[in-house]
A and B are shown apart, each in its own frame.
Chain A
Amino acid sequence: MKVRAQVGMVMNLDKCIGCHTCSVTCKQVWTNRKGTEYVWFNNVETKPGLGYPRRWEDNQHWQGGWKLDRRGRLRLRAGGQLRKLLTIFWNPDLPVIDDYYEPWTYDYHTLIDAPLSDRDPVARPQSQLTGKRMDVRWGPNWDDMLAGAPETAPHDPDLAGLQEQVRLTYERTFMFYLPRICEHCLNPSCVASCPSGAMYKREEDGIVLVDQDKCRGWRFCVSGCPYKKVYFNHHTGKAEKCTLCYPRIELGLPTVCSETCVGRIRYLGLVLYDADRVQEAASEPDEKRLLEAQLRVFLDPADPRVQEQARRDGIPDDWIDYAQRSPVYALAHRWRVALPLHPEYRTLPMVWYVPPLSPVVNALEQDGYEADPDQLFPAIDSMRIPTAYLANILAAGDSETIRQALGRLAGMRSYMRKLEVLGVRDQQAAAATALEPTEIEAMYRLLAVAKYEDRYVVPQAHSEQAQRLSELPGSCGLDFEGGPGSCGALPRPTQAVNESFMLGRRVGAGHRLVPLPMLKPGPGPGH
């Protein structure tokens, strides 16, 4: 057993309102630069829909992720190391930018510069690749909220084999949102695909990053990632990807997408896992049992043997404590309501999803059922749609897994409804979820009440080592003439800073706020 810690995420799809705030804030922080105009480390897709890049889930085509060879050994789907070197001059599996979209801006200047005229000036779209005028024919979230779905949605790879059952007529339609970031997989195929050795997984927190100084732009990570979450910066010629906002995570702060999530759907927490058994789990022969295999790789942070080994493997005590309070571990392992995205890619992804109950409710209403929570639980059993569709996304096609997760969520609603309305702790409803009443109520608090400090349980990185290195020269770099002064008085940024920024409270013991520099009002142009 070799214990490692991983920062994981869970998204509660029932609560995603599709506002794209996560995408926009992420973009403003990370990808509002030349070369990354088309890049969204975080994006929100409407399902059913094509996704971004279009049909990314069709890995028969893109050849991302892993597969088992005839002898059951784990292999990169796109081929091994020799094959990669032979195709290095032209990667046969690389998407082109039109599979994402051609980025554009508008010639806003015409709005200001246009000569006097009878007609209002119009800012026309302009390609950010060439600077030329262009016709916008596809863009980010082009099929948002099922826009154009009669044309596009039938090509959703997750609908394969379900066309008979899913009729995309207006009355029968259903949809939900799927926010996506890098999965920071336990068995990342992008890392395995990088010939330069520029990509790596951090031992301490499992974040997958690209070393920009080592990347040589061979592009195999882009095609090797089955989620298409590594992007090619066409300006720098290097690969870039979601960093899980590691500068924030290291300070114990949630990622930008989590922090700004309006629906409060995101959860961040530690998962301890056994690094020695990752390969074995990813090699599970039966795709439908990959979920179980991955759950077996996770280690129970409350188990004293795990704790002992974790300490031996260099995991700090406070991290073990954080792991025990992890909402990610609770939702994925303890309650089993969170599921991995496309486990069949065999990368053991670490951003999991609580499947949405709402499409089921919608479909039930259309079938003449009342959306009475009490009726939901039995009704899910008779539902074939969209559980089969959800299963294609979150369970390698195994509807039973979806049914159980949805059943537990419906049971929780039923139980809580009786508790809230009638004040009764209904044992029967509790029994249906196969959870103790206290557990159901804890799950409800986490999913429905979703307090900030319960959603984001992220420990600070232990950077004492690095701190010591910078202190070595024995001098302070800040007390130069006109500088901020001696280092001794400078507090290090802490979680408290952000808490107070967000909520204006909770300045933890021993933490001081960093005062923002005040700008002196200077003489304006009119003075």
Chain B
Amino acid sequence: MTLQEALLFVALPYASITLFIAGHVWRYRHDKFGWTSRSSQLLERRWLAWGSNLFHYGALAAIGGHVVGLLIPEQLTRAVGISEGAYHLFAAAAGTVAGLACVAGFLILIGRRAYFPRVRHTTSWTDVVVYAVLAAIIALGLIETIGFNTLGAGYNYRPTVGVWFRGLLWLHPEPQLIASAPLVYQLHATLPWILYAVWPFSRLVHAWSLPWQYLGRPYILYRRRYGLARR
């Protein structure tokens, strides 16, 4: 393990996770008022219709793909009878669709933010940081999915990147595994830790507020002024 590996593939992730958790606790306790999606639909709606839907649904699909790819070990998919070839084909196809939707949406959103002065005016510096990091991550991911896996010979990241990632979660980091991956993969695995570190201090917190509890909730809510909420 070189010092560089230790810093980038062990220290950075753990520092980022710490900041991510502590930051969210702090934000939730001290800034519930600022906890919002910060929607700009009131200011512009046409571009947002395409941009927001493509980006969010594309990103959700891509996140789902990452969960499957990183958290589920190769042995497990092989055990249930999915060959590496079949897995690769599915991942490349679904990943390409999701990635392209996400990129198209992202470009529309960035274009919208730049083009419409009203929207540009609402942009904070944390937004700019988030967009820059996100743009880099998405671009690298697209190079992997389309450049390596769809058009190129393909790279099986599961024994290297996947094992390294799970090792981080189990407190058994193996940075030499990720260090053996192509540079694009190394970059794509490193940059998100910056995003996670910024996450609790940006508008990204709205991701945790997707209101599942709305499903099946009684429609009308009553509250007492001095007491607990009641139906």
Residues of A within 8 A of B (CB): 76, 81-82, 84-85, 88-92, 94-97, 127, 129-132, 187-188, 191-192, 195-197, 199-204, 212-219, 232, 234-238, 461, 463, 465-466, 469
Can you name 18 A-B residue pairings with CB atoms under 8 Å? A85-B210, A85-B211, A88-B211, A127-B118, A130-B118, A130-B121, A192-B220, A196-B209, A196-B214, A197-B214, A200-B223, A203-B224, A216-B35, A216-B37, A216-B209, A217-B206, A237-B37, A465-B227
Q: Which residues of A contact B221 (CB under 8 A)?
A: 191, 197, 199-201
Given the interface pairs A129-B43, A200-B223, A219-B39, the reply to whether A212 lies near B53 with Cβ below 8 Å is no
Contacting pair A89 B52 (CB below 8 A): yes
Q: How many pairs of A and B residues are in contact by the CB < 8 Å rule?
A: 134
Task: Report the minimum CB–CB distance from B60 to chain A (whole Å).
Answer: 10
Given the interface pairs A214-B32, A217-B39, the reply to whether A466 lies near B118 with Cβ below 8 Å is no
Q: Contact check: which of B33, B48, B53, B212 meets A213 at CB < 8 Å?
A: B33
Given the interface pairs A90-B41, A191-B221, A219-B39, the reply to whether A236 lies near B33 with Cβ below 8 Å is yes
Judge if B66 is at the interface, Cβ distance under 8 Å.
Answer: no
Q: Which residues of A contact B230 (CB under 8 A)?
A: 203
Find the residue from A89, A91, A204, A216 having the highest chain B CB count within 10 A.
Answer: A89
Find the residue from B121, B122, B217, B220 having the highest chain A CB count within 10 A.
Answer: B220
Q: Which residue of A lies closest to B224 (CB)?
A: A203
Contacting pair B37 A203 (CB below 8 A): no
Q: Which residues of A contact B39 (CB under 8 A)?
A: 217-219, 232, 237
Q: Which residues of A contact B36 (CB under 8 A)?
A: 215-217, 236-238
Q: Which residues of A contact B206 (CB under 8 A)?
A: 216-217
Task: Report the minimum CB–CB distance from B98 to chain A (whole Å).
Answer: 15
CA distance A202 to B43 in the complex (A): 31
Contacting pair B225 A461 (CB below 8 A): yes
Judge if B44 is at the interface, Cβ distance under 8 Å.
Answer: yes
Task: Report the minimum CB–CB distance from A320 to chain B (whole Å).
Answer: 18
CA distance A92 to B48 in the complex (A): 11
Judge if B125 is at the interface, Cβ distance under 8 Å.
Answer: no
Contacting pair A97 B43 (CB below 8 A): yes
Q: Which residues of B contact A82 (CB under 8 A)?
A: 215
Task: Report the minimum CB–CB distance from B77 to chain A (whole Å).
Answer: 30
Contacting pair B210 A217 (CB below 8 A): no
CA distance A214 to B121 in the complex (A): 25
Task: Report the minimum CB–CB distance from B11 to chain A (whole Å).
Answer: 34
Contacting pair A234 B40 (CB below 8 A): yes
Contacting pair B52 A201 (CB below 8 A): no
